[in-house]
Copies of this chain bind each other. A is one copy, B any other.
Amino acid sequence: MKEDSYDFQEFLEDYTETSSDKEIRIINAAINIFSEKGFESTRTREIAERAGVAEGTIFRYFPTKDAILERMVPLLIRVMMPRISEPIDRIIRAHEADSVEDIWFDILIDRIKMIRDNGRFIKSVLPELIHRAPLLHQFQTSILPMIEQYIEKIVEYGKARGELDSALSSRLVMQQMLGFILSYSMFGGSEKRNTEHDIREFLQYAMKGWSGSCKP
């Protein structure tokens, strides 16, 4: 039942514009407890205790308990955005050097690492969005189109290099990539597997299917 606490302190300082130490301590505590027991089962008293502040202090920074969660969503978006755009931008920089397979390898490694590193943060926010349509919508409309757009870029790049079938739709590729990341993070990653090997294996079969030419 008892899990260790993770410290997002420094991390949060980079992503919030607040200078208040207390506010960050409150969010930090909330992330940890939400991820353990979920939003509804978490008591504001508990957040205060773990943050080392008085319960009243929470309500100086957040009008309601709900507001803590609402504040986390844009924060999660801000954390994920650069983790999505940076690797793709790396590709554009090293444009002609790499094969599409190598590009995807780097992206998948990075994405699975991100989910592991920020697992607690993601687990504290995402499950609560299921029954909160406005927050879910906020999240989806800022993250999904961005991913879509970047995947499209890579697919076009791969087609231009002749590495991908010209009829291949980027929607299908996105589906496959999201699917792999999802199922790997949910089921595959729990055991001590060799992630790099698993990704290579997945990509070799996927690329063979997606390639225009046939190299057996």
Taking A38-B130, A172-B201 as given, write out 11 further A-B residue pairs in contact, using a Cβ cutoff of 8 Å, ordered by the A residue number. A36-B131, A127-B127, A169-B201, A172-B205, A175-B183, A176-B202, A179-B181, A205-B209, A207-B209, A209-B209, A214-B214
CA distance A144 to B38 in the complex (A): 24
Residues in B with CB closer than 8 Å to A183 are: 175-176, 178-179, 182
Q: Say yes or no: is A184 at the interface (Cβ < 8 Å to chain B).
A: yes
Type the 1/0 row for A157-193, where 1 means its CB is closer than 8 Å to any CB of B: 0000000010011011001101111111001100000
Min CB distance A124 to B, Å, is 10
In the complex, 10 of the A-B residue pairs with CB atoms within 8 angstroms, ordered by the A residue number, are A38-B130, A127-B127, A127-B131, A168-B205, A169-B201, A172-B205, A182-B182, A208-B209, A209-B210, A214-B216
The interface residues of chain A, by DSSP majority, are classed as: helix
Instruction: Determine which residue in A41, A179, A202, A207 has the highest number of CB atoms from chain B within 10 A of its CB, and name it.
Output: A179
CA distance A123 to B171 in the complex (A): 25
Q: Say yes or no: is A213 at the interface (Cβ < 8 Å to chain B).
A: yes
Contact of A130 (CB < 8 Å), options: B123, B169, B180, B213: B123
Q: Say yes or no: is A116 at the interface (Cβ < 8 Å to chain B).
A: no
Q: Say yes or no: is A98 at the interface (Cβ < 8 Å to chain B).
A: no
CA distance A41 to B65 in the complex (A): 14
Q: Say yes or no: is A146 at the interface (Cβ < 8 Å to chain B).
A: no
CA distance A172 to B41 in the complex (A): 37
